[in-house]
Structure 1
Amino acid sequence: MLHVIVSRGQSNNPKKRALEDQLIEQLDAMAGVRVVITPNLYDLPMQSEGMDALRELEGDLVVLSWSYPRAAHWTLDRCGIRGAEGAVQLIEAVDEDDEDDWEADLAEDTPKERVADQRTPAERNIFCIHLAVSEDAAAFVDEVQRIVKESSAHLLQWLQGEATSEQLDRYLDDRNEPAPLTIAATGGRRWYPVIDFSRCTNCMECIDFCLFGVYGVDGAETILVEQPDNCRKGCPACSRVCPENAILFPQHKSPAIAGSPGATGGLKIDLSELFYGGGGDAVQVAAQERDEQLRLAGREAVGMTIGIPRRQDPDQERPKDDLDSLIDELDELDV
């Protein structure tokens, strides 16, 4: 049986609600599928009955949500619901020229070790589908049917290898398909960063920059979002200083920050172009956003004096500081 999560959006837009309801009804009638209805996954606390229920789901997952697929995948990942990114065919159109440029940029980049590279490979797939791709419920139903067929072999392999005889009987007998599982909302809307560990290099620039105690490290000294609710609502500043575009805010109005697939191109992308269409410098904007939040919290602004990455575009010169001047003077000495 394939679990299909329908993550309702934060909006009460009647068209969006109607699409969600149509999907729930049609998917519930599909053989081999169990529907799981949740509030916005991003709003569910990591330690909650809802997340506990999701962590108990076995086998491949399909996630239908209003978040970009990358954001949905890593939102689940931070809560311990992990899997390989399943191949989805129902996706947003990507300009072929942009895709060629993106692949060329990646080919030129020096390979870097990502946090995800250090993990044990996942034994299941998670297929994340963006509900904004189509207004037609049938398009999503067709894609889920395709995934059901594709994942059947993977599911049977798991059942035959690890499952008990009781689990095998339950999964293979369609007559025992349970009713949809509904997870209740817990609290209101939230705002916090989500880390894409397929891009994160554990450089720690985010923890240096954030002055609100949002980030921390685990026992292996790997970055994590330790206190998500310390994050200042509406502030995406840390995402602007991340050199790998690995920090997402799924509810941000900018597609690049929210996790759009078109915003994960080569690492030579000018961040000011990426986030502001050419206006302003991303690091300066991030510092201004941080100062604004510090003032709102009754604290003193720090400007560019704390947590600003010395890493800059290698083609871009920075003003020399006292250490640079001293080194230049030593180089000029005839010794």
Structure 2
Amino acid sequence: MKHFSIAAIPGDGIGPEVMEEGLKTLKRIEELHGGIHFSIDAFDWNCDYYLKHGKMMPENGLEILRDYDVILLGAIGAPSVPDHISVWELILPIRRTFQQYINLRPIKLLRGLDSPLRYKAHDDLDFVVVRENTEGEYSNMGGRIHENTPFELAVQNNVFTRYGTERVIKYAYSLAEKRTKKRLTAATKSNGINHSMPFWDEIVKEVSRNHPSIRTDIYHIDALAAYFITRPEELDVVVGSNLFGDILTDLGAAIVGGLGLAPSGNINPEKTYPSMFEPIHGSAPDIAGKGIANPIAQIWSISLMMEHLGFSEVADLIVDSIEEVLLEGKVSTPDLGGKNTTSEFGSAIHEQMTFKSMNFN
């Protein structure tokens, strides 16, 4: 029996609603796979917590999370708390303290859905983006002086270390080695950013020499964004800095159905610290409490979690079950043109998991 401890942070808005379906997914996995057990603790760290306590989590919040195997996050953010507080006081400290230096986001058009790119088939839209997750453009180095005067100045420093850049690129190549296309595409902007981006390109080329079977392309970010639209079928593993990876993954989500469907893994590959899995959609306060949020991204994030924990067959079962429900088209939430609730959509996926797992064990 494999036991895994999970810290669940439902968060704000629709976060608790989709998290509930995620936790039901974990329960269904336990029922279907007798060798897996999850112990789950939930934490109410969110914007309401901030308004009550002046902080997004307790002073010892990171110490509390440290010993868990994985963290599940719902969604963070509310109109009552500025984003730079909710993100910088909860999500980013978790990513950095626990060395979750890989942000992994599959860009996959699920069967049963259509892409806005009507001229592209399902097989054309199936790649993955590896985003550097702890440094780069999202460093907190910099500051402001002469505030509220004509001489006001803001400085934001980008931080690219050899150690941090090498490890994300090495991870991307190791992932490309396992995939069929054997292709890696790196995002850059070395024609306009003349220090950090040439440095990034040089390390890509250095690491590529150890992977001669992988075709390597280095594209400027503006051209690569266009290629996401015009020739996504040529992409396999895309690797980018923190900012470029963030932008590209939102674009990637848009071409396969929208942010509401997209999962994300914040991964510490060495498993020295817990990794964190989450949907990339926001807290959607406009629909919070209505019970109509799409739970696919949260449930799909658990597929990424199971892959990380070494249960690839369970990961595949989850995605296959999501696709089967979409193909049947009988149950779906309003964002997909249906009339069902979050719970009804989640239950349909869980029922498919049971049906498809009859030969699972």
| Same fold by TM-score greater than 0.5 | no
TM-score by length of 1: 0.30
User: Higher strand share goes to which structure?
Assistant: 2
TM-score by length of 2: 0.28
Structure number with higher relative contact order (C-alpha < 8 Å, ≥ 6 residues apart): 2
| Larger-Rg structure | 1
